[in-house]
Amino acid sequence: MMAIPAMRRLRQSFPQAEITLHTRSWAEGIFRDADFIDQILTFDKTSSKIKDVVRESRALREKKFDIAVLLPNSFESALVAKLAGIPKRFGYAKDGRSMLLTFAVKVPAWKNERHEVFYYLNLVSALENDQSITQSGPDDTPALDLNVSAERRAAMRGKLSGFGLDPAKPTIALGVGSTNSRAKRWPAERYAQLNDRLQEELNANVVLVGGPDELDVSQEVFDGSRAKPVVLTGQTDLAEAVALLAEVDLLISNDMGLAHIAPAVGTKTLVIFGPTNPETTRPFSDDAVIIREGVDCSPCMLRDCPIDHRCMTRISVDEVFEKAKTSLEAA
């Protein structure tokens, strides 16, 4: 998601180029209707890195690409591009891979001080400079937005109706999990209290969203709620989740992947931040509002809080509810 402005910048700078996104199969659902790429070439990893590199490089070699822009920083991504025989290979000089790149771009000094979208834009700027294309620099930032087709949205409306959601009511999605960090989770009991107020005071539909690994915390929220939300956690693939977020009126979530997707498809989003740094990783959109309590130990970037989780527990249900109410009224 952070690389979308860079990909849009590529399209702007190279309007006649055929641009292929080479990505993992699970990410295809995000970019299915993207207007800044021409095709998607997917792959899946196996238990053998060597076999994966050989297989991927052969697939890329068949396409006879002219230029590779390596958004990942891994050694393997550079090795694949090298073995694929791609003449020009742009990537950051990280992970000991400079010898595999034709253009090894130095990591900017501001890497940990600015939003990550600029890190990827800076890489595209190196390609523009090589091709003598004039842009105003990495601060000339294309929007981080995604298209979702009318057909996908209509299919999702039908699915939501099948779960008994009233289309006359506003629909709010709650992203109550976080697969890679328990410290990023606002307490489940507070999400349950928030759900009750959203349904009882705002007369809203509430759905719980997330991946299969977040079903446990979604169940905690469901069990602790008086007014039961619809649990869609783990019941949608990524393409369906994107369409779902395009159809709801508001997403309230922890710092998670869905919090970046929702504003990208035009949905108002409230993101509860705790141990992570919103300056560098917040959703890059005016449609996203950060809810954060300034405590001395945040951002700590830890996956488990060693003390009292104050960055999250000091955020009240009242505060989140009022911001949700304001967001719905402004929609």
| Domain ranges (residues) in the chain | 4-130, 152-330
For the stretch 212-241, pLDDT in tens is 999 999 999 999 999 999 999 999 999 999
Stretch 135-154: mean pLDDT: 81
In the chain, the amino acid numbered 329 is E
Q: Tens of pLDDT along 237-265?
A: 999 999 999 999 999 999 999 999 999 99
Would you say 209 and 242 are in contact if contact means Cβ atoms under 8 Å apart?
Answer: no
Q: Which amino acid is at 78?
A: A
What amino acid occupies position 28?
Answer: E
Who contacts 15 (Cβ-Cβ below 8 Å, separation ≥6)? Answer: none
Average pLDDT, the chain: 93
Beta strand segments in the chain, E: 20-24, 39-43, 67-69, 88-92, 103-105, 171-175, 205-208, 230-231, 250-254, 268-273, 288-292
The pLDDT of residue 105 is above 80 = yes
Give 158's contacts (C-beta < 8 A, 6+ positions apart): none
For the domain spanning 4-130, the CATH number is: 3.40.50.2000
What is residue 16's DSSP assignment? Answer: T
Q: Judge whether residue 138 has pLDDT over 80.
A: no
What integer pLDDT is reported at residue 142 of this predicted model?
81
> What residue ranges in 66-169 does DSSP mark as E strands?
67-69, 88-92, 103-105
Residue 295 pLDDT:
84
pLDDT recorded at residue 135: 63
Dist CA 233 CA 217 (whole Å): 10
CATH of 152-330, one of 3.10.129.10, 1.10.150.450, 3.40.630.10, 3.40.50.2000: 3.40.50.2000
Distance between CA atoms of residues 268 and 186, nearest Å: 19
218 within 8 A of 236, measured Cβ to Cβ: no
At 24, phi and psi to the nearest 5?
-65, 150
pLDDT at residue number 179: 80
